[in-house]
Structure 1
Amino acid sequence: MQSNIMKYKFGGKDLILETGELARQANGSVCVHYGGTVVLVTACMSKEPKEGQDFFPLTVEYQEKTYAAGRIPGGFFKREGRPSESEILTARLIDRPIRPLFPKGLFNEVQIMAIVLSSDGENDPDVLAVTGASAALSISDIPFNGPLACCRVGRVAGEFIINPTYQQLDKADLDVVVVTNAKGIVMLESKAREVSEDVFMAAVQFGCDNLKDILRLQEDFTRQYGKPKADIEYKIIDPNLQKRVEDLSLERLKEVYKLSKKEEREEAVGLLSKELQTILTQEGYDDLDIKMALVDVERRQVRNKIIQEDVRIDGRGFRDIRPITCEVSVLPRTHGSSIFTRGQTQSLAVTTLGTGEDEQLIEALEGEKYKSFMLHYSFPPFSVGETAPVRGPGRREIGHGALAERSLLAVMPSKEEFPYTIRVVSEILESNGSSSMATVCAATLSLMDAGVPIKEAVGGIALGLIKEESKTVILTDITGLEDHFGDMDFKVAGTKDGITAVQLDLKIDGIDLSLLDKCLRQSREGRFFVLDKMRAALSAPRPQISSYAPRIERIKVKQEKIGELIGPGGKTIKKIIATTGATIDIQDDGTVLVASTDVSQSNEAIKMIKAITDDVEVGRIYEAKVKRIVNFGAFCEIAPGKEGLVHVSELADRFVKNVEDVVKVGDEFKVKVIGIDELGRINLSKKQVEEDSQK
């Protein structure tokens, strides 16, 4: 088998593209090597267009095989199962930049599969999978207006790094995935620790400059190893039908788009669509073609109104933000809650505080890790007035939740400052654009309402773009209609001090850096406006957590005492938990976290822990319980796992012939430690406590 290889030194390592040996029956397949990480990416296309389809049927799958890291999967079946959240997010990372680069009218099913074959534990395979998808499509016979190239830019100690390792990313204050093509930027995805717009733009510029060579590498690779593109039958609307639909609908649509309410417009467009189908099906036209033609007329009408009349469908100016209301403490028994409403988009965010036991275990190629902050986004069908089956979270919900979570990471307190596991749920109750940024705002207010000491409030805003030859317009706070018919969805979250997350998706084939810079500056203005509205509702985190949340107390024990506290098979710690009802988390450094909603339970647990872990002191008085009786005295437990002897002579201030005349098994009383011998045996006295009390 012939293996065709090209390579280029990129970020200090060889980036290798290889084809011709693996997955040869796919329309296109490429192996991408970088360090010890290898990703196989394949592209396949169906022979015929998918019937009854009015959108491009692209699917992207990304799989991390555990053998790539030399591990066997956990669980009963010991094999990979459904995609993890991380795999879904990477699949979306691949999908978003390549989708706008397929020709209009292509309705053949296209599937991209990226499989991680080897992982070196240093280099993230996600960016390699994006470049690999572009290379596989470029050398295949599938129509594709590529190539595109992808890299990650990190900033560590003020220096930009191409494709930083996991270890470098841990120290970075900026992590941005940059995807470019010959025309400019195609996609961005970033998390940051409150960086300025200037720093962010410099990072993107750095990425774009470095990716030019990877674009040239793919062009050479395609010229040498690529196939001729397939002769595809594109689905193009009959010009006569398009003209008929326009003649019958344009004036009506102009009136429809004077309506400010989304539901009124949708009802009017739905009625118009039915009328067109009644008329035009009798003329022999297909239902689906009629719908597609009407959508095209709608699209042009919405865009023309903005470009030609300088006004948006709902009457706003280009920089205007819809009315905002913020409420906090809206639910009586939750730990923190808020409602953030922007126009017809509404998020109810609820914060729940838990203990270390509630942390999420993540199994990744680089190893197991625990996650103590989670943000989950839910988009029920009623939020857009529809009915649909309610199943688990879809890819879009997972993606939106991850974006909102990234937006807040920079301001979350450390475990040392706030030893709680935190879960925020955003319920989208109403949606008309930018629900992920509404989630960021609602989540911030909910966290502050819960008493989580976040460093700063985080606000988010989504911008859109209408780009025509005659004019380019940037829109602040886009609605669903402007997102659907526009060219860009640009989401920026941050604090008053800087950016914490960015996500840029396009429907056109690239924008230049100057336009990106304008969008970023406009987003800053919008973000500050939103933050002011949020600050009016709640300006700082509450000083105390909810009375319904568990109180976590932190105590420190000597590391050599941890085994004693846990006990054989966990017997001692289980007894404390069962007795007090508190939750106890013992950490390797000797930190013990005790949590309970009842302060008395926590106090009792701490008392029991200290009794076990503190050294027994001569002269100190303890509560004792008789465990067993012998001829010469009684053995008493003064702390779980700690026993001492009350000698018969120390039971009472008189002669005791029979121990059981004074105490019995199960009796409880106070004792004083009167000595500890060289073997660590503890001698106790009941008599001396009684004598002391009578003085």
Structure 2
Amino acid sequence: MFDVKTKSMQWGEETLTLETGKVARQADGSVIATLGETSVMANVTFAKQAKPGQDFFPLTVHYQEKYYAAGKVPGGFFKREARPSEKETLTARLIDRPIRPLFVPGFKHEVLVMCTVLSHDLVNDPDIVAMIAASAALTISGVPFMGPIAGCRVGFEGGEYILNPELDDMQDLRSKPEQRLDLVVAGTRDAVMMVESEAYELTEEEMLGAVTFAHEQIKPVVDLIVALAEEAAKDPFDFQPPDYSALYDAVKSLGETQMRDAFAITDKQARTSAVAAARDAILAGLSDEQREDANLGSALKKLEASILRGDVVRTGKRIDGRALDQVRPIVSEVGILPRTHGSALFTRGETQGLVITTLGTGDDEQFIDALHGTSKSNFLLHYNFPPYSVGEAGRVGPPGRREIGHGKLAWRALQAVLPAATDFPYTIRIVSEITESNGSSSMASVCGGSLSMMDAGVPLKAAVAGVAMGLILEDDGQYAVLTDILGDEDHLGDMDFKVAGTEKGITSLQMDIKVAGITPQIMEKALEQAKAGRLHILGEMNKALTAPSGFSEYAPKIETMQIPVDKIREVIGSGGKVIREIVETSGAKVDINDDGIIKIASSDAEAIKRAYDMIYSIVAEPEEGKIYKGKVVKLVDFGAFVNFFGKRDGLVHVSQIENRRLNHPSDVLKEGQEVWVKLLGFDDRGKVRLSMKVVDQSTGEPAKEDEQAE
């Protein structure tokens, strides 16, 4: 009944297995990839005909984590997987980016790739397994795909690169100073197609070494997919790339001169209008049949690309007249919003980000419910890209894949320099509002985020800047690496290469390649050029920080204290009674974790002190020989009981009240009276022994020896 094909190999410390032929047989391609005990099913289907007039490639990639894969029940009211999580969205992008450029040019049939996590061993991250499964399913489906690709994750610890480190080793790298890298690389056997990383100030040489190491590790996986395809692949889909050379010649003859003049305009809005006018002129000169050709958009794009790319490679001059390694003019400003905790406006050419930092308490941490468990994050970065930033009147909706992806890239770049939670116990939220965009708004978010946090008084380890690099690679091997690319250079170029970091090293690297021909030499040059651009931007950012930024008066103040774990129950009380009383009495927020770390937050310093004192009185132990202020709570024939330390009472024997004989303690004391006492020690039964006569009752200082002797 089943024609099952299976291929396996030893990959690092685990066995990688690819299987097809048993499940989802009506899909064009279906593969279950298993690494260790993590299994992901990838299913590929594609339309056998393109929609009439289709002028773009409609590829959709979905990645789904099913909670049953880890033996969990989803949270929430409905107890069902709902909208994609941030991890699912980012993984879908991770798979989409390296496969999209490898479809045959001109193929515009709808393609759907669905990856479903079936089993998760909590050791091997399913994102890499999903990428391999998707590549294998595409390769055997018959779709015109010029793969396969494979991917892997690389760690860097103790100067050694680690293939596919365990999931726990890559969680919260800020708390693991020995682990300095979380790098994902995807590519074909011959070339790297995609890089995504979170790093801790790695040098350019260390980062390039990691990418090279990863590429060597994925080659055997590509071979495994090829071996599976040799036995299980369907016949290739009969697709011939459309020949629109005649249409292109007509487009070129009608508009090359006007289009070249349009691209010579340096201002983006003026250039966009001139390019649109050139297109209209071309359309006006075409026949009705040519205007209805589905390949017209491709012909127009080819003309625009040939003008932009050819001029850059031949002359070394770009659209806006800059040199290849020149960064656009930069203006940095901080503290521009009066009531926010921190704010910055970062402008680089025609790209601008208004970035705001808000400081919160432990109550503001984000809960993350994932297959590997529930965790909390105290650093959030949200990126918004409204239509007005590019002069458009478009639809406004919830954050899309692009917003989530760009926000995560900026998050990775900045989190490497955050202070330890024990040193700065705040929840940090950054919001980047892109107000203008013409290339690399995610890197503007990095620069603005760094400035905004500094304005908020966050003690960053170092400032972080980011720059986007581009590449134009011609068929004859000539190429040009571009620093700080414009939107058109990104759209019509061959590479989007974003590098962020400090003066010491790289904190994040993201690379997307549109052609399978990037050599290590080109990558090395791009990294060197990016370093120079990054250092230049850091120098410009420093001009905005002429004086140290103070802590905002509107931000909550937080004080931390550590208590013994066995005292946690006493601070919380039965049913939370004690901690509620502390909050109500002091007016401060109090948060306590399982390690005994307490965070006390309030905008009122006195409220923090009240809460601190109340907690201290519960958890602290009285010290022998120390003087305390107390209150008489009970008088008996043989002495007085004094509440002197939190809820701790002790006995002042009648002989220790004054340096004279008393008939009864009531001769000099009454209940409710405040007195100074010294802790003499504890008797054999652990009872507290206090003395009043050794303390000057007017000052609380030790009594003079001659007074004690009277």
TM-score in terms of structure 1 length? 0.90
| Range with greater deviation from structure 2 (56-65 or 573-582) | 573-582
Q: Does 1:326 align with 2:329?
A: no
Counterpart residue number, 1:505: 512
Shift in alpha-carbon separation, 1:115–1:307, aligned structure 2, 3 A = same
| Range with greater deviation from structure 2 (317-326 or 553-562) | 553-562
| Range with greater deviation from structure 2 (312-321 or 361-370) | 361-370
| Range with greater deviation from structure 2 (220-229 or 285-294) | 285-294
| Range with greater deviation from structure 2 (40-49 or 240-249) | 240-249
Does structure 1 retain, via aligned residues, the 8 Å contact 2:465–2:500? Answer: yes
Once the two structures are superposed, residues 457-484 of structure 1 have per-residue CA deviations (whole angstroms, 9 ceiling, x without a partner) of 1111111111112321111110000000
Secondary structure in 2 matching 1:173 = strand
Once the two structures are superposed, residues 99-128 of structure 1 have per-residue CA deviations (whole angstroms, 9 ceiling, x without a partner) of 000111211111111111111111111111
Q: Which of 490, 494, 519 is the aligned partner of 1:487?
A: 494
Counterpart residue number, 1:55: 56
Shift in alpha-carbon separation, 1:291–1:186, aligned structure 2, 3 A = closer
Secondary structure in 1 matching 2:123 = coil
Q: Does 1:228 align with 2:235?
A: yes
| Range with greater deviation from structure 2 (263-272 or 236-245) | 236-245
Tell me how large the CA RMSD over aligned residues is: 3.3
Shift in alpha-carbon separation, 1:682–1:300, aligned structure 2, 3 A = same
Counterpart residue number, 1:372: 378
The CA deviation at 1:210 is 2.3
Does structure 2 retain, via aligned residues, the 8 Å contact 1:490–1:503? Answer: yes
Does structure 2 retain, via aligned residues, the 8 Å contact 1:572–1:640? Answer: no
CA distance in 1, matches of 2:309, 2:155: 37
Aligned-partner residue type, residue 232 of structure 2: Y
Does structure 2 retain, via aligned residues, the 8 Å contact 1:35–1:123? Answer: yes
CA distance in 1, matches of 2:10, 2:507: 31
Does structure 1 retain, via aligned residues, the 8 Å contact 2:630–2:642? Answer: no
The CA deviation at 1:687 is 13
Counterpart residue number, 1:181: 188
Q: Does 1:466 align with 2:467?
A: no
1:238-277 counterparts in 2 under 5 A? 238-277=244-283
Counterpart residue number, 1:403: 409
Q: Does 1:609 align with 2:615?
A: yes
1:592-631 counterparts in 2 under 5 A? 592-615=598-621, 621-622=628-629
Once the two structures are superposed, residues 168-207 of structure 1 have per-residue CA deviations (whole angstroms, 9 ceiling, x without a partner) of 4454212221212133111111121111111112222222
| Range with greater deviation from structure 2 (476-485 or 270-279) | 270-279
| Range with greater deviation from structure 2 (672-681 or 479-488) | 672-681
Does structure 2 retain, via aligned residues, the 8 Å contact 1:457–1:495? Answer: yes
Q: Does 1:424 align with 2:424?
A: no
Aligned-partner residue type, residue 484 of structure 2: D
Once the two structures are superposed, residues 269-327 of structure 1 have per-residue CA deviations (whole angstroms, 9 ceiling, x without a partner) of 22333344445364663186544432322122111221233211111111111101111
Once the two structures are superposed, residues 34-60 of structure 1 have per-residue CA deviations (whole angstroms, 9 ceiling, x without a partner) of 111111111111232134432110111
Counterpart residue number, 2:107: 106
Secondary structure in 2 matching 1:295 = helix
Aligned-partner residue type, residue 113 of structure 2: I
Counterpart residue number, 1:97: 98
1:644-683 counterparts in 2 under 5 A? none
Counterpart residue number, 1:79: 80
Does structure 1 retain, via aligned residues, the 8 Å contact 2:589–2:600? Answer: yes
Once the two structures are superposed, residues 635-669 of structure 1 have per-residue CA deviations (whole angstroms, 9 ceiling, x without a partner) of 99878766789999999x99999xxxx87xxx896
The CA deviation at 1:585 is 1.9
Once the two structures are superposed, residues 315-344 of structure 1 have per-residue CA deviations (whole angstroms, 9 ceiling, x without a partner) of 111111110111111111212111111100
The CA deviation at 1:405 is 1.0
| Range with greater deviation from structure 2 (343-352 or 240-249) | 240-249
Q: Does 1:534 align with 2:541?
A: yes
Shift in alpha-carbon separation, 1:249–1:647, aligned structure 2, 3 A = farther
CA distance in 1, matches of 2:665, 2:485: 89
CA distance in 2, matches of 1:215, 1:264: 47
Counterpart residue number, 1:68: 69
CA distance in 2, matches of 1:326, 1:345: 12
Counterpart residue number, 1:118: 119
Counterpart residue number, 1:583: 589
CA distance in 2, matches of 1:562, 1:624: 26
Q: Which of 204, 210, 218 is the aligned partner of 1:203?
A: 210
The CA deviation at 1:633 is 13
Counterpart residue number, 2:707: none
CA distance in 1, matches of 2:689, 2:679: 6
Aligned-partner residue type, residue 206 of structure 1: F
Counterpart residue number, 1:515: 522
Does structure 1 retain, via aligned residues, the 8 Å contact 2:628–2:645? Answer: no
CA distance in 1, matches of 2:655, 2:641: 13
Counterpart residue number, 2:706: none
Aligned-partner residue type, residue 109 of structure 2: N
CA distance in 2, matches of 1:142, 1:257: 37
Does structure 1 retain, via aligned residues, the 8 Å contact 2:622–2:645? Answer: no
Counterpart residue number, 2:173: none
The CA deviation at 1:502 is 0.7
Aligned-partner residue type, residue 108 of structure 1: H
CA distance in 1, matches of 2:134, 2:388: 36
CA distance in 1, matches of 2:679, 2:523: 78
Aligned-partner residue type, residue 104 of structure 1: P
Gapped runs of 5+ residues in structure 1?
none
CA distance in 2, matches of 1:87, 1:61: 8
Does structure 2 retain, via aligned residues, the 8 Å contact 1:585–1:594? Answer: yes
Counterpart residue number, 1:158: 159
Once the two structures are superposed, residues 125-154 of structure 1 have per-residue CA deviations (whole angstroms, 9 ceiling, x without a partner) of 111111111111001121100111111121
Shift in alpha-carbon separation, 1:276–1:670, aligned structure 2, 3 A = farther
Does structure 2 retain, via aligned residues, the 8 Å contact 1:280–1:290? Answer: no
Aligned-partner residue type, residue 609 of structure 1: I
Counterpart residue number, 2:25: 24
CA distance in 1, matches of 2:205, 2:696: 76
CA distance in 1, matches of 2:64, 2:665: 77
Shift in alpha-carbon separation, 1:647–1:391, aligned structure 2, 3 A = farther
Does structure 2 retain, via aligned residues, the 8 Å contact 1:185–1:513? Answer: no
The CA deviation at 1:167 is 3.8
The CA deviation at 1:97 is 0.1
Aligned-partner residue type, residue 21 of structure 2: G
The CA deviation at 1:557 is 2.7
Aligned-partner residue type, residue 291 of structure 2: Y
| Range with greater deviation from structure 2 (675-684 or 439-448) | 675-684
Secondary structure in 2 matching 1:48 = coil
Aligned-partner residue type, residue 92 of structure 2: A
Secondary structure in 2 matching 1:537 = coil
Does structure 2 retain, via aligned residues, the 8 Å contact 1:11–1:161? Answer: no
Counterpart residue number, 2:323: 317
Does structure 1 retain, via aligned residues, the 8 Å contact 2:254–2:285? Answer: no
Secondary structure in 1 matching 2:321 = coil
Shift in alpha-carbon separation, 1:383–1:288, aligned structure 2, 3 A = farther
Q: Does 1:524 align with 2:525?
A: no
CA distance in 2, matches of 1:623, 1:55: 81
| Range with greater deviation from structure 2 (272-281 or 17-26) | 272-281
The CA deviation at 1:417 is 2.0
Once the two structures are superposed, residues 433-471 of structure 1 have per-residue CA deviations (whole angstroms, 9 ceiling, x without a partner) of 011111111111111222212111111111111111232
Does structure 1 retain, via aligned residues, the 8 Å contact 2:266–2:321? Answer: yes
How many residues are matched?
A: 688
Counterpart residue number, 1:36: 37
